[in-house]
Amino acid sequence: MKLTLESLYKDHDNLRRVLYLIEQLLIDIYRGSSKCYPMLQRILAYIQEYPERVHHPAEDAMFSVVLKSGVSDRQLREDINTLIRDHSEIEEITRDAIAAVESMLASTNLENTDVGTKLCALLTRQRSHLLFEEMKIYPHIEEYLGSEDWGKISTLIPDQEDPIFGEKVRKEYEYIFKAL
């Protein structure tokens, strides 16, 4: 994977599309549909597979290089450290949402309050995180990273194509791609 700021922006745009789909499915659940849970389960698996295992590690590597470059802007350093912690918190929120959806799939009880709460927390946290990165961090990244830095960072991250938005949609994600 050739990491660039543009590729990170593209990942954010793609994740926003997925978050919007989660929101649509959540609305369907509250309107009485129970058919959404398998798709929600697959979407959350995608979030664990790509944004959490590829995108966030790429950002963490990028943030680490920026911090090691001796950035003197105290607020930028604090914001980067906040984002690194956010990645762990978002992973925990995602795991909570997965557990709630799996519980609904295994249950005959159709009480959706827990799923709604967990998915709303995921949507809110992810959206605010993306916005914070794009408003507070990404505009400064080019000041601190050169092409050599990007090359080093690219070697530190998994070379994995996005299974939904990459060259070829993986089979298990085709129905999500079509829903987008």
- The pLDDT of residue 133: 96
- The pLDDT of residue 69: 84
56 DSSP assignment: H
pTM score, two decimals?
0.91
pLDDT tens by residue, 56-69: 999 999 999 999 88
DSSP 57-122: HHHHHHHHHHHHTT---HHHHHHHHHHHHHHHHHHHHHHHHHHHHHHHHH-S----HHHHHHHHHH
Contact 125, 140 (CB under 8 A): no
- Sites in the chain below the pLDDT cut of 70: 1, 108-112
Give residues with Cβ within 8 angstroms of 97, minimum separation 6.
44, 115, 118, 119, 121, 122
- The pLDDT of residue 139: 92
Angstrom distance (rounded) from CA 39 to CA 164: 14
- The pLDDT of residue 75: 93
Angstrom distance (rounded) from CA 172 to CA 102: 17
Residue type at position 42: R
- The pLDDT of residue 146: 87
